[in-house]
Amino acid sequence: MAHLQALKGGTWDVESLNAFEPIVAACPFGGLQSVGEILHGCGCFHWSKDGQEALLALRLDQWRAGRTLHVMGAVSVGEHPLQTRQVMAAVEHTGRLLGADVLTLCTPHAAIAKSAGRWGGQITGAIIAKRLRALQ
């Protein structure tokens, strides 16, 4: 069995917060939230392998029947493009270490959704957003 890599926990600083600015534009919930609002309650984690690097914002929630680990955002900060399967294996392993029962994420990126089956995920619904008023 291959060595399972866990994400490295970190702390939020100005540089890591700034790295997450692109997730505001990609937010599938209508684009109304700031970076700080999206990342509120999240831990900052780092992953790297073979020139690939990512910062991830993860939120662990306790519910009546168990815990979810939700990927609130992920940004590539390395020299090579991320391979989703490798990153998600580390997220999954970290989730197990944190006692999570279910791993969740929402994305507007078709390539990430398409990759779900390759890393054992399944699409369980859709996010539907309709703009009711123009943003100022």
Q: Distance (Å, rounded) from C-alpha 88 to C-alpha 133?
A: 36
Range of the domain at 65: 8-119
Q: Distance (Å, rounded) from C-alpha 11 to C-alpha 92?
A: 20
102-105 and 66-76 as β-strands: parallel, antiparallel, unpaired? parallel
Q: Distance (Å, rounded) from C-alpha 124 to C-alpha 121?
A: 9
Residue 2, pLDDT score: 54
In a domain, 16, yes or no: yes
For 28-66, the pLDDT digits (tens) are 887 889 999 999 999 999 999 989 999 999 999 999 999
In a domain, 49, yes or no: yes
Q: pTM for this structure?
A: 0.88
Can you tell me which residue has the tokens 């599938």?
28
Residue 55, pLDDT score: 96
Residues 64, 78 contacting (CB under 8 angstroms): no
For 56-115, the pLDDT digits (tens) are 999 999 999 999 999 999 999 989 988 888 999 999 999 999 999 999 999 888 888 999
Residue 3, pLDDT score: 62
- Non-local (6+) Cβ contacts of 93 within 8 A are 4, 5, 6
Residue 13, pLDDT score: 93
- The count of structural domains within the chain is 1
What CATH number has the domain bearing residue 52?
Answer: 3.40.630.30
In a domain, 38, yes or no: yes
In a domain, 125, yes or no: no
Residues 37, 5 contacting (CB under 8 angstroms): no
In a domain, 32, yes or no: yes
In a domain, 129, yes or no: no
Closest CA to 49 of 93, 115, 11, 5: 5
* 131: pLDDT strictly greater than 90: no
In a domain, 133, yes or no: no
Residue 1, pLDDT score: 43
